[in-house]
Every structure is written in C-alpha cells, then in structure tokens.
Amino acid sequence: MERVGVAVVGCGNISAAYLKAAAGFPILDIRALADLDPAAAEARAAEFGLKAAPLDSVFSDPSIEIVLNLTVPKAHVEVGLRAIAAGKHVHSEKPLGITFREGRRLIEEARKKGLRVGSAPDTFLGGSHQTSRQLIDQGVIGQPVGGTAFFMCPGHERWHPNPDFYYEHGGGPMLDMGPYYITDLVNLLGPVARVAGFATTPRPTRTITSEPRKGTVIPVHVPTHSAGLLAFENGAVVQIGMSFDVAGHKHLPLEIYGTEGTLVVPDPNHFGGQIQHLPKGGAWADVETGMPYADGNYRSIGLADMAYALRGGRPHRASGDLALHVLEVMEAVERASETRTTVEIETSVERPEPIATSLRDGKLS
C-alpha cells in the first residue's frame, strides 16, 4: 500500500511521543517537521533523523497529504484551516478547538473541500479500551445504567516548565483532560444527549513550583474545577469530575455500571491497563486484554488509522465529527453552570468502528 505523506506542525513536548509511535506504523511517511520556532523543528528533526522545513513549505508541498497539527490548543483551528485551504487533510492534537463554534467551522470548511479532519485523543483505540467496549457490547454488564469519570490533581504548575497555557482560554482541566474521558465514554456508550454541570475557579492565580520559573505567579482565566452529569442517548447517566484543585482522591478513572455488573475501565489517557469486572452477586476479577495496541504508547494510531482510511476509502475512527461532539459536551458543562440549566447537545455521532484482533503490527483496515 502506498504510504501517506505527513508533515508535523508544532514540535513541542507531545511531538516526541507522536514521532516515536509513528515509526511503528508503516503507512506513515513523515516528510517534514515545522514550527514557528525553526530551532524547535530542527532539534526534533535531528532527534528522529527527519527533515525540518519552513512552515510555508509544508502547505505548498504536494507530497504532503496530512498535516499533523501539534500546536497549542488556541492555534489548533487556525492551523487546521490553513491546512484545509491548502488542500491538506488535518489531524489535530486535542481539543479540536477551544470553542464549539470554531471547531464546527473547521469541520464545515473541510467538508466543503472534501477533506478529512481527525483529532486526538486516540487512546480509545488502545487494547484495553477496545476490550472494554467488546465486553459491554456482548452484554457482560447487562444494560448500561451509568458510570463515573474522574481526573483530579493539584494542577500542572507542579511539573510543567511553562504551565501558563493550562490556565489560559482553551486550557483548564475539562478541555485538557476531558477529551480522553468523554471520547472513551462515547466509544463505550455512544453519544451524549444532555449535560448538567457546575464549573468554578477557586483561585485567581497560580504559583509555579517547577523549574526554571519557580515562584512565578500566573493568572487563571478558566474554570479549574468542573463537575457534570452526562446523559447519553442510550439512557446511561455518567458523573464526571475534572479538576486542577484536588490534592488527592481515591476515585478510579472510569467505571461503567450495568444492570448485571460493573466494569472498571483503565485510565483513558493510556492505551492499556487492567480491566476489572464484577458480575452482580459475584466477586471482582481481572479481565485479560485480548485486543492489540495495549502494551505501549501508540499516540499516532489515530493518524495511522486516518492514513489507512484514505487509502481504503473508509471512515477513520478518531474523526473530526467525534471530536466536535466531545468539544460540544465539554463546553456544555460550563454553559450549564453559567445558565443554571440542562444543556441539550446539538451534535450526535456514530460510535467508531471497533478494531479487530487481527489488526496488529501497525496494520489498521
């Protein structure tokens, strides 16, 4: 199968994980790395034995079919629109955009030109999450009733060298971590229909405790503690908590409750992890992961799936429509808090096709 030419725009921290994983997917031909800071692109290119290129050349190179957009969240749509205007497909780091309105514009522009949009997270394609979905689809827990989804920590200023963007518009725990949890929930349960929620900002500033800017005080412009209820089209209701204000907790990342049992789903920020099942009236037991892509960091699998989909003429799984639906749900938690109402979700989306056990060693069909 002919390889797909890819250019990476944005060579920050996350680009290393993408490039390392991309080497395991033979469909991907990483042809150029670009960044507003040329030195960043050159350093990353030297690290991986690739080629750095000027930003403008990425959009004019006919051999590049997909632009992998790894810029900061507030630049995701701007860069995506530029790629689409140049006739390129685009796969973006999460979130798709910092508002539902701008995310929808990106999808609409791509649709007009017959181009594809993909978006992280793609961790739901990992073996543990695909196995969890298989169990739910097989009726192991009966009819899904509800669940819980929690990510709560004291804040990223503890470890990140430049944590400012986590507290600017487009940041906050919901837009930063919510995509992993809500995307996986849609994979497991289907689309969300209604949202209720509360979002607060307990502290107007944060003090960086990591090097090299230890002691620097930065402003907070977004809610840093959000609690919501997600009512799914299938009737299940999931409680979600996303916070940069919690010292510690004992909640598991994801639990799914059904009429016949409970499923503990591993952390959706990772591709693998231990699944546990409790049948009604029984005892907890570990569940073996029977699906591929559970034993490492495959943070280019969504991009690779998109490339295979281009060549095979099928839908790709980590789609722009899925990311737009998730973005609307995340924004709805804050909107519900502001309006003191339940927010109806406008978009809906088909659950992505599951990955077959035969699709191993970098292959996706």
Confidence of residue 352 (pLDDT cuts 50, 70, 90): very high
Q: For residues 170 and 161, give the distance between their C-alpha atoms in angstroms, rounded to a whole number.
A: 18
**Do 119 and 322 contact (CB within 8 A), yes or no?**
yes
Please give the model's pTM, rounded to 2 decimal places. 0.96
**Do 122 and 305 contact (CB within 8 A), yes or no?**
yes
At 299 the three-state DSSP class reads: coil
Q: What share of the chain is helix, strand, coil (3-state, %, to 5)?
A: 35, 25, 40
The first and second tokens of residue 80, run together, are: 């995506």
- In words, the CATH class of domain 4-123+298-319 is alpha beta
363 pLDDT above the threshold of 80: no
The predicted pLDDT at position 287 comes to 98
279 pLDDT above the threshold of 80: yes
Confidence of residue 349 (pLDDT cuts 50, 70, 90): very high
Q: Can you give the residue ranges of every domain in the chain?
A: 4-123+298-319, 127-287
The first and second tokens of residue 267, run together, are: 């952390």
The predicted pLDDT at position 212 comes to 95
Q: For residues 318 and 364, give the distance between their C-alpha atoms in angstroms, rounded to a whole number.
A: 13
Tell me what the mean pLDDT of segment 64-81 comes to.
96
Q: For residues 180 and 152, give the distance between their C-alpha atoms in angstroms, rounded to a whole number.
A: 13
The first and second tokens of residue 8, run together, are: 């990476």
267 pLDDT above the threshold of 90: yes
Confidence of residue 47 (pLDDT cuts 50, 70, 90): very high
Find out whether the peptide bond into 121 is cis, omega within 30 degrees of 0: yes
The first and second tokens of residue 327, run together, are: 């973005």
At 170 the three-state DSSP class reads: coil
Type of residue found at 310: L
Tell me what the mean pLDDT of segment 339-353 comes to.
97
The pLDDT tens digits of the residues spanning 285-306 come to: 999 998 999 999 999 999 999 9
At 147 the three-state DSSP class reads: strand
The pLDDT tens digits of the residues spanning 124-183 come to: 999 999 999 999 999 999 999 999 999 999 999 999 999 998 999 989 999 999 999 999
**Do 182 and 240 contact (CB within 8 A), yes or no?**
yes
Q: How many residues does the chain have?
A: 365
The first and second tokens of residue 241, run together, are: 């908590």
The pLDDT tens digits of the residues spanning 4-23 come to: 999 999 999 899 999 999 99
**Do 262 and 132 contact (CB within 8 A), yes or no?**
no
The predicted pLDDT at position 332 comes to 98
The predicted pLDDT at position 360 comes to 80
Tell me what the mean pLDDT of segment 110-125 comes to.
98
**Do 351 and 322 contact (CB within 8 A), yes or no?**
no
Nearest to 193 by CA among 352, 350, 344, 349: 344
Nearest to 96 by CA among 113, 82, 79: 79
At 72 the three-state DSSP class reads: coil
The predicted pLDDT at position 329 comes to 98
Run of H or E including 325:
helix 320-339
The predicted pLDDT at position 356 comes to 86
365 pLDDT above the threshold of 80: no
Three state DSSP letters for 228-281: EEEEECCCCEEEEEEECCCCCCCCCCEEEEECCEEEEECCCCCCCCCEEEEECC
Q: For residues 45 and 165, give the distance between their C-alpha atoms in angstroms, rounded to a whole number.
A: 25
Q: For residues 24 and 72, give the distance between their C-alpha atoms in angstroms, rounded to a whole number.
A: 25
Nearest to 123 by CA among 22, 269, 294, 308: 269
221 pLDDT above the threshold of 80: yes
Beta bridge partners of residue 283, listed in sequence order:
none
70 pLDDT above the threshold of 90: yes
Q: For residues 38 and 55, give the distance between their C-alpha atoms in angstroms, rounded to a whole number.
A: 9
**Do 53 and 41 contact (CB within 8 A), yes or no?**
yes
Rounded to a whole number of angstroms, the CA Rg of the chain reads 20
44 pLDDT above the threshold of 80: yes
Q: Does domain 127-287 have CATH number 3.30.360.10?
A: yes
Task: Render 338-356 in DSSP notation, one character per residue.
Answer: HHTSPEEP----PPPPPPP
The predicted pLDDT at position 302 comes to 97
Q: What is the mean pLDDT of the chain?
A: 96
